[in-house]
Structure 1
Amino acid sequence: MNRNINHADPFIPIENYNQANWDTRQQPSVQEIMQTIRSEHGNLYSQLERAGMNRYIVDYVFSLIVSFAINQANTNQSANQIYNRFQSQVPWVNLLFGQFNVPQSLADRVLVNIIQIVLNAISGGGSGQPQPGQGWSAWENLGGTLTSSPAVASWQSNRLDVFGRGTGQNLYHKWWDGNRWSGWENLGGTLTSAPAAVSWGPNRIDVFTRGTDQSLYHKWWDGNRWSDWENLGGSLTSAPAVSSRRSNQLDVFVRGTNQRLYMRTWNGSRWGDWQDLGGSLSSGPAAVSWGQIELMYSPEGKTRI
């Protein structure tokens, strides 16, 4: 593309989306919504920048579609419906993404997210500024092809580590580092259940799953590298659950072949034997610790440790 991209030539007049319309309709302005997007949704910029697009151009496209959505949208329409109208009225945007070799699926996903942010601001009324503690964000597509429910852990503020089983039954990992999402990392293994994950301290993550022999398998990040898979035995008929009561302690829970709840504990130096906690489970367990452990399972039941 042989134009000075850093100065963002006006690819199309935008008088149709003028400020007068925004004010008379008493909706949040483009500037207000763009401020929210820039400050709270930097990952949407990052996705297009990683694909090779200049940030200045990304910002221009975002402001254009925000303008369109404010003037054309109503809250009875979905973000996808509005995006389809945008595509039909401003088809040159696809050519722009093509100049930067941005995959169309990525462009579509990001712009639909931008429209959803606008719809949320319109339905909330006022300036469009976020109110602390009020409402959920729009759904964000993080890609991948999962064949299990995901698991997530956090080992410090503004850090997330997400795990899922992929189409090859391998464990996949994706993380948010406070500024952007990584790509998916293949951690291997052959999973026959969803993973479970927990952190008991900074830069430490422990992940558990059921293997092809129905045993419990464990893999951990020690701050420098991922361990090999460790076989912890057992005969699982569910995905595992895990919690941590204190630093360097882990409690893992599974459903056994007799539908009873079983527990195995890492005490900081070694793994204990399996403990039979009884019950009659028709689902996998869930576990959390707030000093003591609360276990939930179906049918309605709860065990406290």
Structure 2
Amino acid sequence: MGLTALPVGVVLHDVQAGWLAWTWLGLSCLAWPHLAYAWARRSQDPYGAEARNFLIDSAIAGSFLPLMHFNLLPSAVLLTVATADKVNSGVPGLWLRALPGMVLAVLAVGLLTGFEVDLASRTGVILACLPIMTIHTLAVSANLYRLVRRVQDQNRQLALMTRRDSLTGVDSRSHWEDQARKLLDQHQREAAPACLLLLDIDHFKTINDRHGHGVGDDVLRALARRMGETLPASGIHGRLGGDEFVVALPLPVTEALEHAERLRAAVQALEFPEVPELSISISLGLAPPPHGGDLRAWLEVADHALYRAKHGGRNRIERTEPLAATPAT
């Protein structure tokens, strides 16, 4: 509003405006901004109060046009800046709601001043318009830049939330499935090595019942850390749900089996200082992709291997040789 006073003041000087016009200029551009700020700060609804202030700003901008005899450049600048402020506020439809007040102000002041028109803008008027044109544009651009960066940060956080399991930090089930399908497609196209490792914690329900779900969560996080420390970084680590985890490894069966055994031993060696008596173990099912099967068939083959490990004494690994895929029922 202070920058607005410069071009309006130059034009008022050129048209030899009276003291009422100069008084209105001073009140509007120097006093009104502070009054509007105080009004919004003290209001029980600052957001609504500021929206009303924006509407008044537009009416003020409209009132200056007849006072300037509709001098072309400053009139266009004021209307553009006033409208841009409403759009930049982010309030839906605010610029449209501001138009009636702006038009009424033009008509009311025009009736008082006789609608005199002098469109030409001399060099001094053009120079007086430059500060508000430049500074306002940069200020709006800076605000939009901050908003864009904020949205980008929020999008990255949202993408991370959808990709990661919030408790353990491994891939969420949906993201893991997408990545595992890509590995399976590569295996089927190029015969690239691939194995699926399905594992869960032995007697996990007993751990929750005996020590509480907080300790159970600690156990899940500790297992996820061991997976990250022990298994190859090229593996796709995910959580299917509960205490069941899955890893897609771009490795042949023999190498995958070695890594699985290291993970089993590392998990068995875990210690929990807050619960010294607690020790855990995992059972694992290892499976190469079934011939011609999809991801669901691959998971079922690995699940059969895990089932054998659980019923074969737990704390062990069972592997399945490649089998022809069977239609899902």
**Fold shared, TM-score > 0.5 on shorter chain:** no
**Structure number having the greater strand percentage:** 1
Instruction: Give the TM bin, normalised by the shorter chain.
Output: under 0.3
TM-score, length basis structure 1: 0.27
* Larger gyration radius, structure 1 or structure 2: 2
* Larger RCO: 1 or 2 (CA < 8 Å, sep 6+): 2
